[in-house]
A and B are shown apart, each in its own frame.
Chain A
Amino acid sequence: MKYIKFLLVGVLLGIVLVKSEAVSWYRIYEMFRFQSFQMYGIIGTAVLTGLLFYVISKKGGIKNGQNEPVVFPKKDKGFTRYMIGGTIFGLGWALIGACPGPMYVLLGAGVYSMIIVIIAALIGTFMYGVLKDKLPH
């Protein structure tokens, strides 16, 4: 039962991603051709709303379900891994028009070929895990 809330959050995510067309290969193409505001609007207003929540939570104004101040996980410092890893990710994102969230959402939306993408993404993640210590970070 304690997992049901996470399932429901996932349902909300899936619905929003489809209804805003953010799962669409066409929208990703438009974004990287600067021919539509849709994706910029979605990401921009999501970040602004999130930022508002962050600022309020920073002031200790928001407690989580366990009555403790909410925390945003901190990313490790660095440059190389974020720049190179990010660029590799971007190449894939623009090629197939789907990042990890939409991959699953599209599967539910009936785009069954996403199972190939998900398996390939699992192999990609596995390759990173194996090569991790040889890569610059």
Chain B
Amino acid sequence: MDFILNPWPWYMAGPLMALVMILLVYFGKTFGMSSNLRTMCTMLGAGKFSDFFKIDWKAQSWNLMVVAGAIIGGYIAVNFLSNDTTMALNPKTISELNALGFRNPGSTLVPNEFFEFESMSAKSLIILIIGGLLVGFGTRYAGGCTSGHAITGLSSLQKPSLIAVIGFFIGGLIMTNILLPLIF
């Protein structure tokens, strides 16, 4: 059972991620997690403000089931399929993050410094809001996210997806290497 309870290596996780996409394509759908944000906007009445949201959300309800499953999967993985192993981060990463003021990097899934709900600072709240806005806006502008472009799009050799993934990396490199040290 240890191989299930320990963190999974990349060569096991990658093909399983592909399996998720393959199953959805096989079912006649597609693997795109950001589309749900548009669907939820439509359900909340965004169609009154823009034609972009005048879609038949019921036709997208299968994708909302994927979201519900993902939430359940996250719960199952943390509560039943995990042990207390600390993440095996690169020692260089750990010392860099310590220098930026992060305590015990890798002891939790995400840094408590700005994800802890109970004791959230105004700065953390602003970071989460700005991050969410960038992800929500950028993903729809680019017509997809990691699942739609990086996995599905690259697998099917689509040039637009390659451009989008290059964009993901430009943005990610700027944030991590230039902006994060200024923020923390």
Query: In the bound complex, do residue A18 and residue B10 qualify as a contact, i.e. CB atoms below 8 Å apart?
Result: no
Query: In the bound complex, do residue B167 and residue A86 qualify as a contact, i.e. CB atoms below 8 Å apart?
Result: yes
The number of chain B residues touching the other chain, given as a range, is 35 or more
Query: In the bound complex, do residue B109 and residue A125 qualify as a contact, i.e. CB atoms below 8 Å apart?
Result: no
Between A20, A43, A47, A70, the greatest number of chain B beta carbons within 10 A of the residue's beta carbon is seen for A47
Give complex CA distance A82, B97 in Å: 31
From B26, B129, B164, A65 is in contact (CB under 8 Å) with B26
Known: A65-B27, A89-B138. A101 touches B146 (CB 8 A): yes
Query: In the bound complex, do residue A96 and residue B76 qualify as a contact, i.e. CB atoms below 8 Å apart?
Result: no
SS of A interface (majority)? helix
Give complex CA distance A4, B24 in Å: 13
Query: In the bound complex, do residue B65 and residue A90 qualify as a contact, i.e. CB atoms below 8 Å apart?
Result: no
Q: Decide if B122 is an interface residue (CB 8 Å cutoff).
A: no
Between A29, A74, A84, A111, the greatest number of chain B beta carbons within 10 A of the residue's beta carbon is seen for A29
Interface string of B127-144 (1 = CB under 8 A from A): 111111111111111111
Chain A minimum-CB-distance residue to B30: A73
From A25, A54, A76, A110, B155 is in contact (CB under 8 Å) with A54
Query: In the bound complex, do residue A24 and residue B110 qualify as a contact, i.e. CB atoms below 8 Å apart?
Result: yes
Chain A minimum-CB-distance residue to B163: A82
Give complex CA distance A108, B170 in Å: 30
Give complex CA distance A6, B63 in Å: 7
From A10, A30, A105, A127, B93 is in contact (CB under 8 Å) with A30
The interface of chain A, by Cβ under 8 A from chain B, is 3, 5-33, 35-51, 53-54, 57, 62, 64-66, 68, 70-79, 81-101, 103-114, 116-130, 132, 135
Could you list some 23 contacts between A and B, CB below 8 A? A7-B72, A12-B23, A19-B8, A24-B109, A26-B105, A32-B175, A49-B22, A54-B156, A57-B25, A65-B27, A73-B152, A75-B153, A88-B167, A89-B134, A92-B134, A108-B71, A117-B131, A122-B37, A122-B136, A123-B136, A125-B37, A126-B49, A130-B49
